[in-house]
């Protein structure tokens, strides 16, 4: 799996996949730029009138619930169904699910209408997608008894797709195999949109393969490794603003060789 994930860095640079993203207005620019930084091509069309035509040109579709409203939901349903018909991978980022009844009800309805190949969220968001009675606080994850690895495995089997659970240790599972990424830096939690950007990266890698497990591993680990590299370059008088710029620099420089050298990955089957 590690070699398969590493090879995707080469494929993305060669193929420049078009990644259609219906995302939130807080992070739309960063999601577009991170897609470019890793080698993809972003398109951020969100009008219900044109998303079907745009998705037909895309290699992957990312749906992000960050600033959800009725118009965005309409566009997501149209785009998602179109992508499913054309076998284009669809990636869900259920930002803040569980915070409000509207958000929770709408993501549940969307899950019933659209098939998702990959879902990425924090632990509380993923638990809420599984039907657990948990309330999230904005986009933060609370303290939970279950490990990210166990949760990813259970969620992958229940939701019938690859699930990425973000946290201090990211976990990825397809229901049979589970990987733990032990990279990252606390500063990633101090910059708005790093989770959304990670999902954009996952979507970019998904646009060049049908091995969605490896795509998820490559995408989430790229963000975690880049956070480590960016933080390591900070000087004493530099803070989150400089970190944000250096994070994008690190992503733009990421390649197969750097990734293989830096990634801390373990495969685990939770009991």
Rounded CA-CA distance 173/154 in Å is 9
What number does CATH give the domain 2-267?
Answer: 3.40.1190.20
Rounded CA-CA distance 151/145 in Å is 10
Domain chopping of the chain, boundaries:
2-267
pTM recorded for the entire structure: 0.93
pLDDT classification of 131: cutoffs 50, 70, 90: confident
Which one has a higher pLDDT value, 193 or 137? 193
- The tens digit of pLDDT for each residue in 10-58 reads 999 999 999 999 999 999 999 999 999 999 999 999 999 999 999 999 9
pLDDT classification of 138: cutoffs 50, 70, 90: very low
pLDDT classification of 133: cutoffs 50, 70, 90: low
The DSSP result for 34-84, as a single string, is HHHHHT-EEE----TTTHHHHHTT-SEEEEE-TT--HHHHHHHHHHHHHHH
Residue 182 has pLDDT above 80, yes or no: yes
- The tens digit of pLDDT for each residue in 85-109 reads 999 999 999 998 988 899 999 999 9
Residue 269 has pLDDT above 70, yes or no: no
- pLDDT at position 267, please? 81
Residue 112 has pLDDT above 50, yes or no: yes
């Amino acid at each position: 799996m590690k070699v398969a994930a590493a090879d995707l860095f080469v494929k993305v640079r060669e193929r420049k996949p078009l990644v259609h993203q219906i995302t939130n207005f807080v992070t739309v620019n960063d999601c577009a730029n991170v897609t470019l930084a890793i080698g993809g091509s972003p398109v951020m069309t969100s009008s219900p009138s044109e998303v079907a035509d745009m998705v037909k040109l895309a290699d992957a579709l990312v749906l992000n619930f960050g600033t959800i409203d009725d118009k965005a939901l309409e566009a997501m349903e149209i785009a998602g169904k179109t992508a499913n018909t054309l076998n284009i991978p669809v990636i869900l980022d259920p930002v803040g699910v569980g915070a409000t009844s509207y958000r929770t009800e709408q993501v549940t309805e969307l899950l019933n209408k659209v098939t998702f190949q990959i879902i990425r969220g924090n632990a509380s968001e993923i638990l809420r997608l599984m039907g657990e009675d948990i309330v999230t606080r904005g986009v933060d994850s609370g303290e939970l008894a279950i490990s990210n690895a166990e949760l990813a495995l259970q969620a992958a089997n229940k939701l019938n797709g690859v699930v990425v659970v973000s946290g201090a240790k990211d976990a990825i599972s397809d229901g049979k195999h589970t990987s733990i990424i032990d990279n990252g830096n606390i500063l990633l939690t101090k910059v708005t949109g790093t989770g959304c950007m990670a999902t954009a990266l996952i979507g970019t890698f998904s646009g060049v393969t049908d091995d969605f497990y490896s795509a998820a591993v490559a995408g989430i680990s790229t963000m975690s490794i880049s956070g480590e590299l960016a933080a390591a370059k900070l000087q004493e008088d530099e803070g989150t603003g400089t970190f944000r710029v250096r994070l994008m620099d690190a992503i733009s420089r990421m390649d197969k060789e750097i990734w293989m050298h830096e990634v801390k990955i373990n495969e685990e089957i939770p009991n």
